[in-house]
Chains A and B, each alone.
Chain A
């Protein structure tokens, strides 16, 4: 069985401040972990992924995430928020041999000017 928990359904940060979106996973085997972003009235776009190579993963738009096995976490960060980062962010998990992608409930990020 696999699952992800996203802490905080809504996060607000000031423009230029650090963005931190939290994701914890549960998986009985080594996981593949993903962050997706959804802008209003659009589909989901892959931000970054962890597939057992480097534990610090860099994605698009300046985002990065660190896989921490001891904490079963895969938190998403960005050093300096931009207005264009306002969107909903989803953490997701799958694993080798399991083609199903399981999503968290999402975190809506608001940027305060």
Chain B
């Protein structure tokens, strides 16, 4: 099925550990974004990309890295996990800003 696929769906990390959240889309979309969702704060943009090889920071980029080597994949790396990074993470993609974004089903991350 076409769409945005995120893995894993759930993850528990210890403080200081690193990990990569995977995101893949099969719609040939140029734009991809990572958001985190926290209660009462809506979705906040972490990083985004307008095409392979091009990334930029969003509203809350600290503690996260991204790269975009292919159009399909946009992984999010947590360098040294902290409890403040406990959240639900969503990846999204779009072909153009006026079409809106298609969202993945999310990764629920807990840092202990």
Chain A contacts to B: CB under 8 angstroms: 9, 32, 34, 36, 42-46, 49, 51, 90, 94-106
Contact = CB atoms under 8 A, between A and B. Distances in A.
Given A32-B98, A43-B104, 11 more contacts: A45-B103, A94-B97, A94-B98, A96-B98, A97-B97, A99-B50, A99-B97, A100-B58, A101-B45, A101-B97, A105-B42
B50 A103 contact: no
Contacts of A105: 40-42
Given A99-B31, A103-B42, A105-B42, A43 B106 contact: yes
Contacts of A95: 97
B77 to A, nearest CB: 20
B55 to A, nearest CB: 12
Interface of B: 31, 33, 35, 40-45, 48, 50, 58, 90, 92, 94, 97-106
A96 to B, nearest CB: 7
A contacts with B: majority SS: strand
Contacts of A43: 90, 103-106
B105 A106 contact: no
A22 to B, nearest CB: 15
Contacts of B105: 42-43
